[in-house]
Amino acid sequence: MEYIKNFNVRNERNLTMLVDFYELTMGNGYFSSGIENKIAYFDMFFRRVPDGGGYCIMAGLQQLIEYLNNLSFSKEDIEYLRSKNIFSEEFLNYLKDFKFCCDVWAIPEGNPVFPNEPLVTVRGPIIQAQFVETMILLSINHQTLIATKANRICRAADGRSVMEFGSRRAQGYDGAIYGARAAIIGGCNSTACTIAEQMFGVPSAGTMAHSWVQLFPTEYEAFETWAKAYPDNCVLLIDTYNVLKSGLPNAIKVFDDILKPKGYRPKGIRIDSGDITYLSIKCREMLDEAGYEDVKIIVSNSLDEYIIRSVLRQGAKIDGFGVGERLITARSEPVFGGVYKLVAIEDNHAIVPKIKISENEEKITNPGFKKVYRIFDKETDKAIADLITLNDEIIDENKPLTLFDPVFTWKKKKVKNFYAKELLVQIFDKGNLVYDCPDVLEISKVAESESEKLWHEVLRFENPHNYYVDLSHKLWSIKHNLINKYSSIYNEEE
């Protein structure tokens, strides 16, 4: 299937003004205090894997890149901002001629990612690096949430096909479109969202609604008409009236009457309600008896990873799952809590690490301009840990590497015979795009092959092994010196 590589040009929107208003008040504030060009470093990261899972699947980078590459204020935007009567003309002039000039690094889409490591790092004038916060978070939070959920659902389906069916219950149009994209990245085989195929070249698919069956005087006539229209790709929805007494008998009759004489094999039946374990077992028996052992049974109806796992354990005979609202909204945990934090500034060309202190220890940020290495065992090719270092640190693969827990520092591990892969790649160099986005289907292969490099214990649904995300000794020292500095200021009176 060829798709329109630049399809979204036709649908291009200027989302520059999709920004939290405080980015603008701060931007104006930098100007009025003359610090708009101070160089700042921000990290985007998350603190917790949704649904208690062991890892997330990075997604949403391509849309973020398109946004950053097209960032510009129209005349109408400037006029609108002027009408608010709080922005200086100097600031508005700056926006009028806005040219994105930051450096951006990111972990490519499809990679498994873990809490507290930078997924995106931005370096540039504070006025720009701050401005892009909303869209960085919005782009990565949304698609990473859905790709991660899809990945869980596909693991539950255990090799069976999973189709994304959720457009009608998505949270807005982009929720449907980019949700379908993220679902494919996470492992879905296809989507019902037609425009997603057009935009991203991901396979779209679909058959019939109950209304098709209701429209005809009888279910048999509805199926007969469908089989004549789609003899070589016939999938019938059999639960409009009664699956076992009406739907399946009518389907088998139409397979026999219409398809068999012309030499066509039916493709499948779909069940969208009722007890899918019981019905699928019964349908399998009836189909097999009628000589349709190769006809697939597809089920849908408010499925998620828990229900899929449960019905498969009970012996349901299902070949494919259509998953809708619980995937497209990540219903069990619909918020991906990515944050964007200042981690350093430059003073006289020296990098000064910054930290955000919190009484909640997990909320204390990792300061400084950093790199993320993934450490792999050379023999098994399995990922052992991620190691966050300062940006100028280099890992010598020929020497043993000592990893230690950043909280319980006595927990140490010496690693030999490993290789280290840098996860963050440069996306923008002083505002110039230097990265080529892969196709969605390529990204979904990355997700598959890189997830396979995680130990089974990390892939587990419940209480997975906590994958190690450690800090280099140098980074750990900087962080703890900063924590001590602030705690001595605010706690000494006690």
Complex with a second copy: residue 168 or 411, whichever CB lies closer: 168
Cα(329)–Cα(149) distance, integer angstroms: 9
Residue whose token pair is 């016939």 = 234
For residue 167, report the phi and psi dihedrals to the nearest 5 degrees: -45, -45
Shorter beta-carbon distance to a second copy: residue 277 or 451: 277
**CB-based burial label for 416 (10 Å; 0-12, 13-18, 19+):** exposed
Task: Provide, rounded to whole angstroms, the least separation between the CB of residue 266 and a second copy.
Answer: 15
Give the SS3 label for residue 160: coil
Q: How far is the CB of 175 from a second copy (least distance, A)?
A: 4
Shortest distance in whole angstroms from residue 204 CB to a second copy: 5
Q: Least distance from C-beta 212 to a second copy, angstroms?
A: 5
Structure tokens at 365: 């940020």
**Residue 16 structure tokens:** 């520059």
Q: How many CA atoms lie within 13 A of 258 on its CB side?
A: 22
Of 7 and 455, the one with the shorter C-beta distance to a second copy is 7
Nearer to a second copy, 270 or 371 (CB): 270
Q: Which is nearer to a second copy, 201 or 377 (CB)?
A: 201
Q: Which residues contact 444 (CB under 8 A, 6 or more apart)?
A: 110, 184, 185, 186, 187
Least separation in angstroms between residue 26's CB and a second copy is 5
Tell the smallest beta-carbon distance from residue 447 to a second copy (Å): 20
Q: Is residue 346 within 8 Å of residue 38, measured between CB atoms?
A: yes
Using the minimum distance from each CB to a second copy, give the nearer residue, 230 or 264. 230
CA proximity to 373, closest of 129, 136, 114, 53: 114
- Residue listed under structure tokens 């219903």: 331
C-alpha to C-alpha distance for 394 and 376, rounded to whole angstroms: 16
Assigned token pair, 73: 């204020």
State the minimum distance, in angstroms, from the CB of residue 105 to a second copy. Answer: 18
Nearer to a second copy, 203 or 431 (CB): 203
Is residue 348 left, alpha or beta, with left meaning phi > 0 and alpha meaning psi from -120 to 50? left
Nearest distance from C-beta of residue 38 to a second copy, angstroms = 7
Which DSSP category does 414 fall into?
E
For a second copy, give the closer residue by CB, 38 or 460.
Answer: 38
How far apart (Å, rounded) are the C-alpha atoms in residues 33 and 19? 22
